[in-house]
Amino acid sequence: MSIQDLEILKAACCVAGLDGDISDREKQTLQVLAKRAGVGKASFEAMIEVAVEDEDYFKKQLDLLRGDTDRTIKTLFQIAVTDRKLGANERIVMQYFADKLEMPPERFEKILAAAERSV
């Protein structure tokens, strides 16, 4: 199990759960991340439940992550646009994560623009 993959999975659950629901498409994408991180079904379901129910859960994420910032933000945007839209709350949380990971603003804007084009 990679700490980086686990941290990305938890943050991705937060992004998917921002609207209070995780669609089947989002869940399928999250399951791929869970498998990569070596997370079992019970732990995965618990992460999803907390992400949907606790609107501040995202603030507790990415504290340990100091790896590939681009990979992390791109993965999170991939989750965010799985439902074919990029909501205002998702943008705010994505900006929060980018700031927390100390991603340069111009790099974040490039990745955001690419995500918006994919919707």
**Residue 37, domain CATH:** 1.10.3680
Position 23 confidence tier, pLDDT thresholds 50, 70, 90: confident
pLDDT of residue 65: 64
What is the pLDDT, as a whole number, of residue 79? 85
Q: How confident is the model at residue 28 (pLDDT cuts 50, 70, 90)?
A: very high
Distance CA 91, CA 8 (A): 17
Structural domains counted in the chain: 1
**Domain span holding position 56:** 3-118
Do 59 and 94 touch, CB atoms closer than 8 A?
Answer: no
Return the closest-CA partner of residue 44 out of 71, 62, 26.
26
Percentage of the chain surpassing pLDDT 90?
A: 29
Distance (Å, whole) CA 28 – CA 105: 30
Contact 72, 107 (CB under 8 A): no
Q: Is the dihedral of CA 39, 44, 46, 49 positive or negative?
A: positive
Please give the model's pTM, rounded to 2 decimal places.
Answer: 0.79
